[in-house]
């Protein structure tokens, strides 16, 4: 499976490199979501989610190793038709062009492939673990600030169901200086050190990444990140000939591995079947994982749209206006001209409505009447001065 992005020359665009860099994160989110759904019916998958970093790193180790071995590119870069090429930095300093420096070495050295796997798998794994330790220590400090003193001790002391006899053996174990307590102390100090250093390490890493990406966008450097610069490797577009060569290289590697099989004929047959299954899995791993990413994005959009529809307030049509109250027999009759005040039989000055009945009067007239009789003059409904509302005409 290959995504071709339009562009000129062998240098990839910034968007190609950014898409290739973001693909592993999207793949991890898709796999975590899929296992989370499966865990609702099969609790066994909760164990995989508990060790999410280890399982994903192991998966990426297999994929990155296979991709670098067969295509000289990472798993994400191979999907976009990109290849890694070693750059002779000394030749560039002597004044040679970048293209000639790239052509001097056709493929990656073994050392560069091993270090590429370390930068693509081991480094993200360490960052993830450091971030988890930092978040845990930050929550512990926040808990301690809320409860006062040590977070664990404060919680235990505030819990009325914790027996003092249960807490006593743990204190004795800590004071005895056992190997487990000393190991816990070392782990605690390492966690505190990692939590203290992580913000600086994270800020430095993000700053270096931003600087290299900005320089790459401005065409001031050929290295997209600091890892490629350390390795002396640049990412280039693969030509049609290189794609054909990579396919023939894969066939040669697999035929060589089949020739190395040793043992009885039945054992060789079993080994060939296992190798065939492994090759088929690796060949369709890219397509399957990318399909998982698209499936995750589709399900995320689907459930998000469903939640928005469920949480959206239901809009009902406005109810019809209530019928006007009837004029009481002992009340003042309503004039035929609606522009006249029922009390003074003149055109209304400062029109005001009585909220108890809804009829409009002059403000001085209705204020005096309601203040004296505490009712509406037409319907005789009880009312107060607070229910008088001034009306203003729009100019």
pLDDT value of residue 156: 44
Flag whether pLDDT at 264 surpasses 50: yes
**Long-range Cβ contacts of 133-137 (<8 Å, 24+ apart):** 133/191, 133/194, 133/195, 133/198, 134/194, 134/195, 134/198, 134/199, 136/191, 136/195, 137/191, 137/192, 137/194, 137/195
pLDDT value of residue 354: 92
Share of the chain above pLDDT 70, in %: 75
Query: Which tens digits make up the pLDDT trace of 314-339?
Result: 677 888 877 888 888 888 888 888 88
Flag whether pLDDT at 164 surpasses 60: no
Query: Which tens digits make up the pLDDT trace of 359-371?
Result: 999 999 999 999 9
Interatomic CA distance for residues 30 and 288, integer angstroms: 12
Share of the chain above pLDDT 90, in %: 18
| Residue of higher predicted confidence among 4 and 118 | 118
Flag whether pLDDT at 176 surpasses 50: no
**Helix 265-311 / helix 52-71 crossing angle, nearest 10 deg:** 120
Flag whether pLDDT at 64 surpasses 50: yes
Global pTM?
A: 0.57
pLDDT value of residue 386: 92
Flag whether pLDDT at 157 surpasses 50: no
Query: Which tens digits make up the pLDDT trace of 266-302?
Result: 887 888 788 778 777 776 766 776 676 677 667 767 7
Query: Considering only 75-84, 220-229, 313-322, 376-385, which range has the smallest mean pLDDT?
Result: 313-322
* pLDDT confidence tier of residue 222, bands split at 50, 70 and 90: confident
Flag whether pLDDT at 18 surpasses 50: yes
DSSP string of 24-46?
HHHHHHHHHHHHHHHHTT-TTHH
The mean pLDDT of 385-394, rounded to a whole number, is 84
Are 198 and 134 in contact by the 8 Å Cβ rule? The answer is: yes
pLDDT value of residue 184: 82
Flag whether pLDDT at 23 surpasses 80: yes
Flag whether pLDDT at 158 surpasses 90: no
Average confidence score pLDDT of the chain: 78
Handedness of CA 147, 149, 155, 158 (dihedral sign): negative
The mean pLDDT of 181-192, rounded to a whole number, is 84
pLDDT value of residue 352: 92
């Amino acid at each position: 499976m290959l995504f071709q992005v339009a562009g000129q020359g062998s240098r990839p665009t910034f968007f190609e490199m950014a898409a290739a860099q973001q693909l592993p994160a999207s793949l991890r989110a898709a796999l975590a979501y899929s296992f989370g759904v499966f865990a609702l019916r099969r609790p066994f998958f909760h164990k995989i989610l508990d060790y999410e970093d280890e399982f994903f790193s192991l998966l990426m180790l297999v994929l990155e190793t296979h991709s670098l071995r067969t295509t000289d590119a990472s798993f994400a870069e191979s999907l976009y038709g990109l290849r890694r090429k070693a750059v002779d930095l000394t030749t560039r300093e002597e004044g040679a062009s970048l293209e000639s420096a790239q052509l001097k070495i056709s493929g990656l050295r073994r050392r560069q492939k091993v270090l590429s796997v370390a930068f693509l798998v081991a480094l993200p794994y360490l960052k993830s673990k450091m971030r988890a330790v930092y978040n845990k220590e930050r929550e512990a400090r926040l808990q301690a600030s809320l409860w006062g003193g040590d977070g664990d001790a404060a919680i235990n002391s505030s819990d009325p169901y914790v027996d003092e006899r249960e807490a006593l053996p743990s204190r004795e174990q800590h004071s005895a200086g056992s190997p487990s307590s000393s190991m816990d102390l070392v782990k605690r100090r390492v966690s505190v050190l990692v939590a203290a250093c992580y913000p600086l390490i994270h800020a430095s890493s993000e700053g270096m990444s931003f600087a290299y990406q900005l320089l790459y966008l401005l065409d001031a450097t050929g290295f997209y990140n600091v890892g490629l610069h350390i390795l002396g490797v640049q990412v280039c577009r693969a030509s049609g000939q290189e794609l054909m060569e990579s396919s023939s290289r894969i066939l040669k590697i697999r035929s060589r591995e089949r020739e190395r099989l040793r043992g009885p004929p039945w054992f060789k047959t079993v080994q060939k079947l296992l190798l065939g299954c492994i090759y088929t899995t690796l060949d369709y791993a890219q397509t399957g994982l990318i399909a998982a990413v698209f499936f995750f994005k589709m399900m995320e959009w689907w459930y998000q749209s469903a939640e928005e529809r469920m949480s959206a307030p239901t809009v009902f049509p406005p109810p019809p206006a209530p019928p006007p109250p009837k004029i009481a027999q002992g009340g003042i009759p309503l004039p035929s001209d609606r522009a006249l005040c029922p009390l003074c039989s003149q055109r209304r000055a400062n029109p005001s409505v009585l909220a108890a009945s809804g009829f409009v009067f002059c403000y001085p007239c209705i204020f005096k009447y309601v203040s004296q009789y505490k009712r509406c003059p037409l319907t005789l409904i009880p009312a107060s001065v607070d229910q008088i509302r001034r009306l203003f005409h729009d100019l």
